[in-house]
């Protein structure tokens, strides 16, 4: 259930008019036969230029799917994924998306990201049983949606390093001032999610996966003097109270829910369906 909601949207991410082949809910799983399925083939010109973060255009050049391939981790949190015998292209473990190729993603198969969930208790609490959490969210430049300040894990980088680096880049504009506070805060890091992400860039052959870690400032002391400033692919950054509705990029609502549950925080932040705008 709820698979490929964002990953079946058209037009495709960076394009004006690349339409995904329409995939009805019941045809998402690969094990449902569908001989008329003709996904739109698309790989972004950015990826085709072969930047260092991207694989070779020919999937046949990749010999180590489902393994750590030198500096590149090609294993999936979802388990072992299938690779098409003819094309040597990995098959999205969550099924059809209506688009083949890599779209905007660099890697064939899993593309690993890390997401920071930086939280503290809101100052004015109106509910004494379950306290309201605040979380650091950005506004993404690409889609304009609210999102966690996460990013891709670089080749050879540990995911926890990527999470901290991305937080500093996107939520602190690489400001070194708060370095000590950040070090303290990141000592509280606990993993709350590891898995598939329903990212709008996903394709039949390339998809996002992420590990999300919670850094929780229980007393509020560590983040009191933390200066938030948007940087890199973030247009805005803010502390957001989790006591009203928030619709977020990709599967980020699910990641936040994991923290809300873990900390026993106020649950009813996901309500009326209106979109969150960071102004
Ligand atoms: C999402 O895309 C991940 O959860 C992470 O937040 C993000 C990584 O991509 P970029 O922010 O680098 O575009 O799927
Ligand atoms: Mg980034
Ligand atoms: Mg990012």
| Calpha distance 87→73 (Å, rounded) | 21
Residue nearest to atom 11 of ligand 1 (CA): 151
pLDDT digits (tens, 9 = 90+) for 10-37: 999 989 899 999 999 999 999 999 999 9
Quick check: 272 pLDDT over 60? no
Give the number of the atom of ligand 1 that is nearest the alpha carbon of residue 114. 5
Burial of 201: CB neighbours in 10 Å, binned 0-12, 13-18, 19+: buried
Sign of CA dihedral 66, 68, 71, 76: positive
Residue nearest to atom 8 of ligand 1 (CA): 151
Instruction: Please give the distance, rounded to the nearest whole angstrom, from the Cα atom of residue 138 to the centre of ligand 2.
Output: 11
DSSP state of 59: G
Ligand located closest to 250 CA: 1
Give the number of the atom of ligand 1 that is nearest the alpha carbon of residue 252. 4
Q: Residues lining ligand 1, judged by CB closer than 6 Å?
A: 113, 115, 147-148, 150-152, 197, 199, 208, 210, 233, 250
Beta pairing partners, 119: 135, 216
Cα distances from 113 to residues 59, 162, 164, in angstroms, run: 21, 8, 12
Q: In sequence order, what are the residues at sequence separation of 6 or more whose Cβ sits closer than 8 angstroms to the Cβ of residue 81?
A: 65, 66, 90, 91, 92, 93, 109, 110
Give the number of the atom of ligand 1 that is nearest the alpha carbon of residue 197. 14
* Own/partner pairs, 68-72, CB within 8 angstroms, 24+ separation: 70/155, 71/155, 71/156, 72/107, 72/155
| Calpha distance 89→34 (Å, rounded) | 18
Mean pLDDT of 249-254: 92
Residues in the chain: 279
Quick check: 278 pLDDT over 60? no
**Does the pTM exceed 0.90?**
yes
Instruction: Please give the distance, rounded to the nearest whole angstrom, from the Cα atom of residue 16 to the centre of ligand 2.
Output: 23
pLDDT digits (tens, 9 = 90+) for 50-69: 999 999 999 999 999 999 99
Mean pLDDT of 109-133: 90
Instruction: Please give the distance, rounded to the nearest whole angstrom, from the Cα atom of residue 112 to the centre of ligand 3.
Output: 12
ipTM of the complex: 0.97
């Amino acid at each position: 259930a709820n698979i490929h909601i964002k990953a079946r949207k058209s037009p495709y991410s960076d394009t004006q008019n690349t339409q995904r082949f329409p995939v009805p809910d019941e045809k998402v799983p690969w094990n449902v036969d569908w001989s008329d399925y003709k996904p739109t083939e698309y790989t972004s010109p950015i990826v085709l230029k072969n930047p260092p973060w991207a694989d070779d255009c020919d999937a046949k050049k990749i010999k180590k799917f489902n393994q750590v391939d030198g500096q590149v981790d090609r294993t999936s949190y979802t388990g072992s994924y299938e690779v098409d015998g003819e094309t040597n292209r990995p098959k999205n473990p969550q099924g059809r998306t209506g688009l083949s190729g890599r779209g905007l993603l660099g890697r064939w198969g899993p593309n690993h990201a890390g997401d920071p969930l930086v939280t503290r208790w809101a100052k004015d609490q109106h509910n004494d049983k379950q306290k309201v959490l605040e979380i650091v969210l950005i506004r993404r430049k690409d889609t304009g949606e609210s999102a966690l300040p996460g990013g891709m894990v670089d080749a050879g980088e540990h995911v926890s390093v990527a999470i901290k680096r991305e937080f500093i880049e996107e939520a602190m504009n690489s400001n070194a001032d708060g370095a000590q506070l950040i070090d303290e805060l990141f000592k509280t890091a606990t993993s709350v999610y590891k898995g598939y992400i329903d990212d709008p860039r996903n394709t039949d052959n390339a998809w996002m996966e992420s590990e999300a870690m919670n850094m929780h400032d229980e007393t509020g002391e560590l983040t009191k003097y933390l200066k938030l400033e948007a940087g890199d692919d973030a247009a805005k950054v803010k502390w957001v109270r989790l006591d009203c509705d928030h619709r977020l990029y990709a599967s980020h609502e699910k990641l936040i829910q994991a923290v809300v549950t873990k900390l026993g925080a106020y649950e009813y932040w996901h309500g009326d369906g209106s979109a969150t705008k960071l102004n």
